[in-house]
Structure 1
Amino acid sequence: MQIKESAKVYDAIIVGSGAGGGMACNILANQGLKVALVEAGPFFDPKDPLTQTQLKWPWESPRRGAGSTRAFGDYDMSYGDWEVDGEPYTQKDDTNFMWWRSRMLGGRTNHWGRISLRFGPKDFKHKDVDGLGENWPISYEEIKPFYDKLDKKIGVFGTKEGIENEPDGFFLPPPKPRLHELYYAKGAKKLGIPVIPSRLSILTKKLNNDRGVCFYCSQCNRSCNAYADFSSGSCLIFPAQKSGQVDLYTNCMVRSVTTNDEGLATGVSYINKEDKKEYTLRGKTVILGASACSSARILLNSKSKQHPNGLGNSSDTVGRYLHDSTGAGRSAFIPALMDRKIYNEDGTGGMHLYTPWWGDNKKLDFPRGYHIEVWGGMGMPAYGFGWNTTEMNKYVGGAVGGYGDKLRDDVKRFFGAFIGMGGRGESIAKYENRCELDPNVVDQFGIPVLRFNYQWSDYERLQAKHMTETFDEITHAMGGIPMGDLPGKEQDYGLLAPGQIIHEVGTTRMGDDPKTSVTNKYSQLHDAKNVFVVDAGVFTSQADKNCTWTILALSMRTSEYIADQLKKQNI
């Protein structure tokens, strides 16, 4: 195959345009560096009339809400899924890892929940608390200045609460709770479970002239045509392009990082999806932000005489310590919320209240913790909206549903009378849980694919058990009725499959020891000083928080370090 090489030499080649890649692009371009941003999917702007999907009725979806065809991407705003045509992945033994990949400018940030939580002091040094896993090579105090700058740059609503391991930040005003959330708060507080305003990266007041303010259409999962919520494209990449320092390469699938005789990076090799030809870009530094597993795959495929086991993999650690957030959920019927007057209760595209971790692990049979997310209310019904009529008949003493006027009347009676709770918790990083190259399978571009080997432990199963039992206790405390049977041991207590929460981290973890880690505390490869990783792969451990805000803060820190090192000619 003839490979076409670019004549231009960039200061930085960034692979991936999600949270980490977008932040790196923004910081480096605004520092005056010449940047190439490479994205495997097409260009996407939620403000573009051709792609704009907000304020459309559910029946205007071309797939009528068929999430199995494009999960999280009803309408036309999400290019990606658990399965991507021509890009398979495989499983080892009885693994059931679910790998979500987004193929569009801005990546997953176009349709995430905008839950923007700082990791706390304990989260960076949790081995000191329970002896499990490893401590990060950095502390909360080292990353706090970047969290602070991030809050002011992107915007996050919330309130100062003074909770030890839930650090406060610089907050915009939070929206008022909706009625189902007030019921949840009443029930939780009866049990001594804390409830505080959510912390979401959605603008409730003006931040700058580039972005609008949330108008409560509750459709953030489709991205925002007012740029009021955080997406990497609208908030980081588009502003960076104004500098004139960014060359954007879309629909370009990176195969590997190219290296020289000294083992340093010289650029990247990629396949252009439009002409199916292979090209190379040249750069002084390469920054991987393709997502934890995709960046690991690129490194593992970057083999050379100097890096026979893959770039950065002299420790055989690339792909190892893969771990995802735990997840389990329950739903409930709240009789007191029946027969409500119907009004617009949309709010933001996410919860207005949530519960941070409150438990004492010394008194529990599992380590670490989880937070509780809440859903419900009278939001716009999706296509296929309804309920299990057999289940409902148990509780209301009569036939529910049917056809015509009877169906419409029942829908109105029960509309807004359901609530759901989901736990998102911390799992323990294990050496054995990994993604590796499958020696026998390639994708449509001829690139070896990933093979997953991942098993939950009893730590995670018992955490899920605590979640679901707690949700039912809260339901009873608010006068509700749990829907369905409580999952038992044979169902892993409702624990979702690894990867399903889409918080995978740890595949290129940072550490001080090159024998047990891939990058140093600046997310710089131990084995190649001009290669950096700015996605969640560098996480030494997860936390009971969503990982995006920490990806952004770490990427900001790493990008400022890269700019400084380039100017000093150290890399």
Structure 2
Amino acid sequence: MPVLTERKTQPQYDVIVVGSGAGGGMAAMILALSGVKVLMIEAGRNYEPVKETPMFNTPEMAPLRGTATPDRPFGFYDATVNGGWQVPGEPYTNKQGTEGDFWWWRARMLGGRTNHWGRISLRFGEFDFKPKSRDGLGVDWPMSYEDMAPWYDRVEQLIGVYGENDGIANAPNSSPGVLMPPPKPRVGELLAKKAGRKLGVPVVAAHRAVLSQPMDWKNLPKVLFPNNPKAQEIIGKDMMSRAACFWATNCIRGCSIRANFQSTTVLLPPALATGNLDIITDAMVREVVMGADGKATGVHYIDKVTRRDAVVKARVVILAASTCETSRILLNSKSRDKAGLANSSGQVGRNLMDSVGTRLGAHIPAMEDLPPMNEDGAGGLHTYVPWWLVHEHAKLGFARGYHIEMGGGRQMPEVKSFGYLDSTSPGVYGRKLKEEARRYYGAQFGFSGRGEMIPNKDCYCELDPKVVDQWGIPVLRFHWKWSDHEIKQAEHMQQTFAELLEGMGGKAKPQSGADAIQRPGEIIHEVGTARMGAKGAESVTNQYCQTWDVKNLFLMDGAVLPSNPDKNPTLTILALAWRSCEWLMEEMKRGNI
């Protein structure tokens, strides 16, 4: 994609967007399609998925046969090229004496985490927006599901989401005709569905941002942008160039045919086509620059290639750098009260949450010796389990709930796929080993939970008083402690997974919740460090992501989420950004910003 150097930027932009992932990409596209002059600043390198994605490379073509390494924990073909839980020269710390070390994932590439994510696209439900009203824990959102529903529809139609309407409580239906047909369940998923039926656990079609059919490029642009002929033309051409998935490779590699959703394939191309978007990559933002009138005037960044400092200016600044990075920028920015920018409430950095995660798998004898077939499918799960006990919390002993993801079967083999032969076929070699490999390969199946964490006072990030990164910018120091709600929830996950696996004919060994719960940050769903709210004294932004303290400063990533429901946050981040940008443009027209 075309990028700019510092020397080619304009003296003044309408809006600066920091970050190019879900929130930043959506903000840039909506604004650019409406004629707003936008400068996007990305801390990572340029990335062109159409050229760089190794869609048809098989594992033996990669170093170590494509297996995971410390710097590529999701395998050699993961689309994340310069990021991970550890980024050279960009450390973070954990406060000694706290219960758990937080793992902070950073993408550091154009498009951010949207190149890497699992594309699971679940709407937050009516209960998710009012959690405190239901059980007295956490805080309510300053809007309802009804406020967000139209924006969910728009996002699903824009990016393309497959799934079905199942009418399950707190797992909202989309409007008729919005969702694309889901792919059919595979063998393991069919067995899971059969086991779930006996246990009262609903296994239904997953909702994922993958095109299962060509887009309706003739009609959708008119629905999405009814009063903008130029946007209709650009989006129509872009939708026409996206191909439907042909069920070949894992989505985590990226997608050169643009069948799955990535900011780099769906949001940034039409934004650039307007001529209203400039992009600077390899630019590490240090702080938001403030004027004497208390308004943001631009951002100060470091050119990572030349190591020079630079300042760019705009009428409005949008931070969408990812949850913790956005808070880091605010904490490093100067303000009158010296507590960090937009932090009169004291909530910047607070209320850090990640999804509760745990997993359990087993060998399923019924899946042995299956005939060779393409089980790669849509590059991820075809079915999932929404939280089915939404009205049973008084009996469970923990608040909130979780959804279940699943996977296994005869997908493209990798080195790790045959580690179980050490236990199923010890001492076997030669032709017999090959026969055993064919017999047992694809007979593993597992479940993963993604549960809601309730914000607590012990989970937050702050600036480390002693440590800086290679650019001289103070780094984040994390504090973490799971509550009993999360530990008990993980225990329930393990027991449920074991029952499902045994119902499929396997033998499972569930762990305790304390032993099974995955590390904080490992699920890569962190949100909440600059939450929105109804009052400035208790939150950082209003419902339109505008900071209470600085009227021309907006936050449009996971930092603003007041709670962390059991659904993956990306779809909601996209919907919030679209909704907030429409409101922002109206305020700009009125002269309020």
TM-based fold match above 0.5 = yes
The residue that corresponds to 2:503 in the other structure is: 477
State the AA in 2 paired with 1:103. Answer: R
CA drift of 1:406 comes to 2.3
The residue that corresponds to 2:408 in the other structure is: 376
User: What is the distance in 1 between the residues matched to 2:428 and 2:346?
Assistant: 60
User: What is the distance in 2 between the residues matched to 1:4 and 1:258?
Assistant: 19
The residue that corresponds to 2:523 in the other structure is: 501
User: What is the distance in 1 between the residues matched to 2:556 and 2:75?
Assistant: 25
The residue that corresponds to 1:85 in the other structure is: 88
Which of 107, 115, 119 is the matching residue for 2:112? Answer: 107
User: What is the distance in 2 between the residues matched to 1:479 and 1:77?
Assistant: 35
CA drift of 1:400 comes to 3.9
The residue that corresponds to 1:395 in the other structure is: none
The residue that corresponds to 1:234 in the other structure is: 265
State the AA in 1 paired with 2:166. Answer: E
The residue that corresponds to 2:221 in the other structure is: none
Q: Does 1:276 align with 2:307?
A: yes
CA drift of 1:307 comes to 4.5
Question: Superposed, which structure 2 residues align to 1:397-416 within 5 Å?
Answer: 399-400=425-426, 402-416=428-442
CA drift of 1:402 comes to 3.5
Which of 212, 218, 225 is the matching residue for 2:256? Answer: 225
Q: Does 1:210 align with 2:241?
A: yes
More helix by share: 2
Q: Deviations over 1:398-454 (max 9, x none)?
A: x44633322211110011111010000001011331010001000000000000001
Distance change in 2, residues 1:242/1:7 (3 Å):
closer
The answer to whether the 8 Å contact 2:542/2:548 transfers is yes
Which of 65, 71, 77 is the matching residue for 1:69? Answer: 71
Distance change in 2, residues 1:466/1:493 (3 Å):
farther
Q: Does 1:530 align with 2:552?
A: yes
The answer to whether the 8 Å contact 2:494/2:512 transfers is no
Corresponding residue pairs, total: 556
CA drift of 1:340 comes to 1.4
The SS at the match of 1:257 is: strand
Q: Deviations over 1:168-193 (max 9, x none)?
A: 11210110000010001111111011
User: What is the distance in 2 between the residues matched to 1:67 and 1:353?
Assistant: 29
Which of 183, 196, 203 is the matching residue for 2:191? Answer: 183
Q: Which moved more, 1:342-351 or 1:177-186?
A: 342-351
The answer to whether the 8 Å contact 2:78/2:252 transfers is no
Which of 526, 535, 549 is the matching residue for 2:571? Answer: 549
The answer to whether the 8 Å contact 1:72/1:111 transfers is no
User: What is the distance in 1 between the residues matched to 2:578 and 2:29?
Assistant: 9
The residue that corresponds to 1:196 in the other structure is: 204
User: What is the distance in 1 between the residues matched to 2:325 and 2:427?
Assistant: 46
Q: Does 1:28 align with 2:59?
A: no
User: What is the distance in 1 between the residues matched to 2:77 and 2:395?
Assistant: 47
The residue that corresponds to 2:275 in the other structure is: 244
Question: Superposed, which structure 2 residues align to 1:85-164 within 5 Å?
Answer: 85-92=88-95, 93-94=97-98, 95-164=100-169
The answer to whether the 8 Å contact 1:323/1:429 transfers is yes
The answer to whether the 8 Å contact 1:287/1:532 transfers is yes
Q: Deviations over 1:348-378 (max 9, x none)?
A: 1111111000111121011000000000011
Q: Does 1:298 align with 2:298?
A: no
CA drift of 1:568 comes to 1.7
The residue that corresponds to 1:362 in the other structure is: 394
User: What is the distance in 2 between the residues matched to 1:401 and 1:423?
Assistant: 35
State the AA in 2 paired with 1:246. Answer: L
State the AA in 1 paired with 2:415. Answer: Y
The residue that corresponds to 1:256 in the other structure is: 287
The answer to whether the 8 Å contact 2:9/2:278 transfers is no
The SS at the match of 2:240 is: coil
Q: Deviations over 1:237-275 (max 9, x none)?
A: 111100000001001111110001122100001111110
CA drift of 1:217 comes to 1.1
Q: Does 1:434 align with 2:464?
A: no
Which of 342, 359, 383 is the matching residue for 2:372? Answer: 342
User: What is the distance in 2 between the residues matched to 1:351 and 1:76?
Assistant: 17
The residue that corresponds to 1:54 in the other structure is: 55
State the AA in 1 paired with 2:198. Answer: K
User: What is the distance in 2 between the residues matched to 1:6 and 1:568?
Assistant: 27
State the AA in 2 paired with 1:333. Answer: H
User: What is the distance in 2 between the residues matched to 1:147 and 1:77?
Assistant: 26
State the AA in 1 paired with 2:159. Answer: I
The residue that corresponds to 1:565 in the other structure is: 587
The residue that corresponds to 1:396 in the other structure is: none
The residue that corresponds to 2:229 in the other structure is: none
User: What is the distance in 2 between the residues matched to 1:144 and 1:412?
Assistant: 47
The answer to whether the 8 Å contact 1:53/1:76 transfers is no
State the AA in 2 paired with 1:72. Answer: F
The SS at the match of 1:239 is: helix
The SS at the match of 1:8 is: coil
Question: Superposed, which structure 2 residues align to 1:4-19 within 5 Å?
Answer: 8-19=11-22
Q: Deviations over 1:22-69 (max 9, x none)?
A: 000110000100000111111111111xx2211101122245423322
User: What is the distance in 1 between the residues matched to 2:554 and 2:277?
Assistant: 18
The answer to whether the 8 Å contact 1:177/1:353 transfers is yes
User: What is the distance in 2 between the residues matched to 1:62 and 1:337?
Assistant: 30
Give the % identical residues: 48
The SS at the match of 1:14 is: strand
User: What is the distance in 2 between the residues matched to 1:368 and 1:184?
Assistant: 23
The answer to whether the 8 Å contact 2:421/2:437 transfers is no
The answer to whether the 8 Å contact 1:6/1:280 transfers is no
User: What is the distance in 2 between the residues matched to 1:274 and 1:136?
Assistant: 41
The answer to whether the 8 Å contact 1:6/1:282 transfers is no
Unaligned runs of 5+ residues in structure 1 are 393-398
The SS at the match of 1:81 is: coil
State the AA in 2 paired with 1:190. Answer: K
User: What is the distance in 1 between the residues matched to 2:448 and 2:246?
Assistant: 26
User: What is the distance in 2 between the residues matched to 1:350 and 1:424?
Assistant: 15
Q: Deviations over 1:508-566 (max 9, x none)?
A: 00011211111111111011000001101000101111100000000111111111111
